[in-house]
Amino acid sequence: MSLQLTAADQAMLAGEEGEGVALAMRVLVATAEAMGAERLLDIESAHVDGCLYHGPSGLDFARALVDGGARVRVPTTLNVSSLDLLPPELVRLDRHTADEAKALMDAYVALGCRPTWTCAPYQLPERPRLGSQIAWGESNAIVFANSVLGARTERYGDFLDICAAVTGRAPEVGLHTDEGRRARLVVRADGLTDALAANEALYPLLGHVLGRVADTRVAAITGLPPSTGEDHLKALGAAAASAGSVAMFHAVGSTPEAPTLDELADLEAVTVTAAMLEQARIELGGADGAEIDAVCVGTPHYSSRELERLRSLLDGRRCRLPLYVNTSRAALDEFGRGPDLEACGVRIVTDTCTYITPLLAPGTEVVMTDSAKWAYYAPANLGVRVVFGSTKDCVESAVAGEAVITW
């Protein structure tokens, strides 16, 4: 059956609300047809990833929307950019690229988007409710919204995310539907030792395994510790979305739409072993034994809770190695701006992330991180080697001036 448009959809497509809205609707309709959607649905919010500068095409598209008179019609937050605007001197981009990146940021603000500059919009005070239809970009935000919040979004990449925001519409397919959200695979973490279950590195490593075994399928995880919280699930989901194409998972006992164990009885099952987690650690941290030059945490952006834990782990000690923490302005404001962290030598990064733009000191070759996502992308993006460890290991390494790994 072909795509059926409402009268309002057709009016937008015909240019009755301006060329910018018509452009957005043309992109949305073409995508919906390619996805096999029969209709579009209303969305309540959007999160735009297209504000990160990758070249002139992204800026040209945003400017075309602005020049065409477009404005977002649902609350829309913005993902990380290429710049840290609080201490802009941290980013070492050439002047032309920096100017283009700033122009892209300005264009999205001109479209009516909120300048949140965070990859973790679910940590903002206003976040989607259970069952709400949304259109979010940014892989870790997508998997968190679907899995932990129970909101409904497909994967909305650059251009498509802002088109959904401008039109207030999205294709009714995939994870927007009940059928698309059903578990197709069981991932059993029940048999892990107490020591493994108690190690916070379990979650990013398990997420890496999940991405490898599930790929695009929705999986249901069983056996997570009762202490599992949102920050743990954030790390798990971000890793799964990086290592595979996971946009949703269920965690029995932790997430709102998780099926019962009885409902999972007939599904294919994968049992996670200690050997699988160790292999994940090796894949993420191939530079074990190397001398590290810096430590990077906060990918996805640290919450205020994680900033508080970082402060507790440091306990006033001075770092011998540069320790970078990525976070949002909102989390930093809630935490208290972090002067005591900076007194310990922590370098606070907002608006962007250390793996996507040149922030690390020249000559940095080996970096330790607690983030599976950072470990997955940074070698290609930055040309560095990675040592992977828990947050506690990262702090102890920064203080000691050498890698400390307890996994």
Judged by DSSP in three states, 349 sits in: strand
pLDDT class of 390 with cuts at 50, 70, 90: very high
pLDDT over 70 percentage in the chain: 100
Q: What confidence score (pLDDT) does residue 192 get? A: 86
Integer Cα distance of 105 and 80 in angstroms: 10
Integer Cα distance of 389 and 193 in angstroms: 18
User: Residue 344 is which amino acid?
Assistant: C
**CATH assignment, 7-172:** 3.30.499
Integer Cα distance of 174 and 31 in angstroms: 13
Integer Cα distance of 369 and 391 in angstroms: 8
**CATH assignment, 285-400:** 3.30.499.10
Closest CA to 267 of 354, 183, 195: 183
Integer Cα distance of 157 and 139 in angstroms: 9
List, for residues 315-346, the tens digit of each pLDDT value. 999 999 999 999 999 999 999 877 799 999 99
Q: What confidence score (pLDDT) does residue 92 get? A: 85
pLDDT class of 347 with cuts at 50, 70, 90: very high
pLDDT at 196 over 90: no
Integer Cα distance of 42 and 199 in angstroms: 42
The DSSP H or E segment spanning 35 is helix 19-35
Judged by DSSP in three states, 222 sits in: strand
Q: Report the mean per-residue pLDDT for the chain.
A: 95
pLDDT at 171 over 70: yes
Closest CA to 302 of 335, 280, 270, 279: 335
What residues does CATH 3.30.499.10 cover in the chain?
285-400
Which pairs with CB-CB distance under 8 Å and at least 24 residues apart come from 272-277?
272/187, 272/188, 272/189, 272/191, 272/192, 272/206, 272/209, 273/191, 274/192, 274/193, 274/196, 276/209, 277/192, 277/196, 277/202, 277/205, 277/206, 277/209
Q: What confidence score (pLDDT) does residue 198 get? A: 86
List, for residues 75-120, the tens digit of each pLDDT value. 999 999 998 878 777 788 889 999 999 999 999 999 999 999 999 9
Q: What confidence score (pLDDT) does residue 1 get? A: 66
Integer Cα distance of 407 and 405 in angstroms: 6
Closest CA to 25 of 50, 44, 6: 6
Judged by DSSP in three states, 188 sits in: strand
List, for residues 32-76, the tens digit of each pLDDT value. 999 999 999 999 999 999 999 999 999 999 999 999 999 999 999
Is the CB of residue 162 less than 8 Å from the CB of residue 111?
A: yes
pLDDT at 197 over 90: no
Q: What confidence score (pLDDT) does residue 336 get? A: 87
